[in-house]
A and B are shown apart, each in its own frame.
Chain A
Amino acid sequence: ETGVTQTPRHLVMGMTNKKSLKCEQHLGHNAMYWYKQSAKKPLELMFVYNFKEQTENNSVPSRFSPECPNSSHLFLHLHTLQPEDSALYLCASSQAYGQGGGETQYFGPGTRLLVL
């Protein structure tokens, strides 16, 4: 595998379900991100992790719970979601700020989530 991978690619869940999104990067980066992309809305940053530590929580509801066990893996745990949470969830990685080598973010293919 190369680049940034995300699983599953598609997910349908009920409002009472618990599910997790997984992201893995093979680029040797040490910063990872979760974004939400809803129809007709700009890309919204949700969480940022630098060296496994969460450095940004963009006022995301607690029904979204991120986990970053190491610099290569990032999870987004979902529980009791609402229909308005249906969106494309994108993961990205980059070098952490000030680490050199550029800070360009590279994205995964996304998970299309539908909450019924």
Chain B
Amino acid sequence: AQKITQTQPGMFVQEKEAVTLDCTYDTSDQSYGLFWYKQPSSGEMIFLIYQGSYDEQNATEGRYSLNFQKARKSANLVISASQLGDSAMYFCAMKESGATNKLIFGTGTLLAVQP
């Protein structure tokens, strides 16, 4: 069965430092998609970045990059130059296999950026 694992319940990072949030996944599919979302205390889930399994290059979006290691089945999110506004819950998700657009979410990592 497909599964997303986020092993870090919480993390601290100093402002302006880089931080890596871990995500591992389990799937037997050859074609799949991986997503990262940010959820501030206000509740909204904000889409950050997407990586397709066949994409040869790691996805990047501004200060966000996805360290995709297919053989290790990991899709870690790297946030460079952390800002106070980056403090939030971060969720890794994977699209379910088959003819569906359903997502499987991990349990999330709470990131606290310290001044």
Contact = CB atoms under 8 A, between A and B. Distances in A.
B101 A31 contact: yes
B50 interface: yes
Contacts of B44: 107-110
B103 to A, nearest CB: 6
Given A42-B106, A42-B107, A43-B91, A105 B101 contact: yes
Chain A interface residue number, banded: 20 to 34
A90 B43 contact: yes
Interface in B36-95: 37, 42-47, 50, 91, 95
B100 interface: yes
Contact of A103 (B33, B42, B105): B33
A104 B43 contact: no
A109 B47 contact: no
Chain B interface residue number, banded: 20 to 34
A102 B50 contact: yes
A13 interface: no
A22 to B, nearest CB: 16
Nearest to A31: B101
Interface of B: 33, 35, 37, 42-47, 50, 91, 95, 99-103, 105-108
Contacts of A96: 101
Given A31-B101, A97-B101, A104 B45 contact: no
B102 A104 contact: no
Given A42-B107, A102-B50, A104-B50, A56 B45 contact: no
A97 B100 contact: yes
Contact of A42 (B95, B102, B105): B105
A98 interface: yes
Contact of B105 (A43, A97, A106): A43
